[in-house]
Structure 1
Amino acid sequence: MIQQIYPQVFHNFRYELNKDMQIAAAHFIPHEAAGKCANMHGHTYFVNITVAGDELDESGFLINFQQLKKIVHGKLDHTLMNDHTDLFSNARAEDFPTTEVVARKIAEIVQAQLDTMPNRPTCVQVFVRESPTSYVVYRPKAGNR
């Protein structure tokens, strides 16, 4: 079981859901300034996704935990992130599979699913821990939700 304290995101929604998961994946950063990270290597990423909203769906959820796991873990676990050319690019720095970009792309994947739901929840934060000493928090700007 993952037991982690995450930075809190402040919002005015009535409900907040958090889903933890681990993703084992490899990546490389295609830039000479990345140092050793330019070589293919792997991590067990610890991910926390925060979804908030005011309305529950017809089954009483903001979103089902299993659905979140399927769209994120099901896509990225045990893969080479660079192979997901629908998410990452070896040509544009803002799309290299750095931890910052991984967090943003997870938020985008989640929000795309949330946008299809009648209760319209919002992904307000994605936390990605790459190693015991390094993590990133991504929070979409309110106007981009």
Structure 2
Amino acid sequence: MPKMRIYKEFKFDSAHWLPNVPPTHKCANMHGHTYTIEIHVEDELHPELGWVLDYNDLRNIVEPLVVMLDHKVLNEIPGLENPTAEHIALWLWGKIRPDLPQLAQVVVKENPSNVCIYCGG
């Protein structure tokens, strides 16, 4: 069977600051983003169903995490005390991977030009 990759996109709004940057850095101040995340799944095409994974199953795994992040201060969430895009990607991977071994990639976009891509490992 051919191997394919699908992804589903989610959005949430959150505030944060970066505690480890110099106090003069603009990100040392509380600010917010409308984040877009992509959750990529790679697997063989199911021979009967004709898909890699039901998009609703993917949504059911990821949506509770989005609810945890939406309209929150990310620094207050355990594991996100230093909520860079990179740490958000790692946090999402750690939460999703146990339920979704086919997870291939997590993309975190603070905006269209600031993007982190994590592929595990």
Q: Which residue of the partner structure matches residue 37 of structure 2? A: 47
Number of matched pairs: 114
Cα-to-partner distance string for 1:15-38 (whole Å, 9 max, x where unaligned): 423110111111111124371111
Identity percentage of aligned residues: 29
**Structure 1 runs not aligned, ≥5 long:** 1-12, 90-95, 115-120
* RMSD, aligned α-carbons: 2.3
Q: 1:71 to 1:51 in 2, by over 3 A?
A: farther
TM-score of the aligned structures, taking structure 2 as reference length:
0.79
**Matched residue of 2:22: which SS?**
helix
Q: Which residue of the partner structure matches residue 70 of structure 2? A: 77
Q: Tell me the amino acid that sits aligned with residue 76 of structure 2.
A: D
Q: 1:133 to 1:77 in 2, by over 3 A?
A: same
Matches within 5 A, 1:29-108: 29-33=18-22, 35-54=25-44, 62=53, 64-85=57-78, 87-89=79-81, 96-108=82-94
Aligned-partner Cα distance in 2 for 1:110–1:39: 30
Cα-to-partner distance string for 1:76-103 (whole Å, 9 max, x where unaligned): 1111111112x223xxxxxx11011111
Contact in 2 for aligned 1:43/1:131 (Cα 8 Å): yes
Q: Which residue of the partner structure matches residue 9 of structure 2? A: 20
Aligned-partner Cα distance in 1 for 2:113–2:52: 33
TM-score of the aligned structures, taking structure 1 as reference length:
0.67
Aligned-partner Cα distance in 2 for 1:81–1:46: 15
**Whose strand proportion is higher, 1 or 2?**
2
Aligned-partner Cα distance in 1 for 2:111–2:97: 25
**Structure 2 runs not aligned, ≥5 long:** none
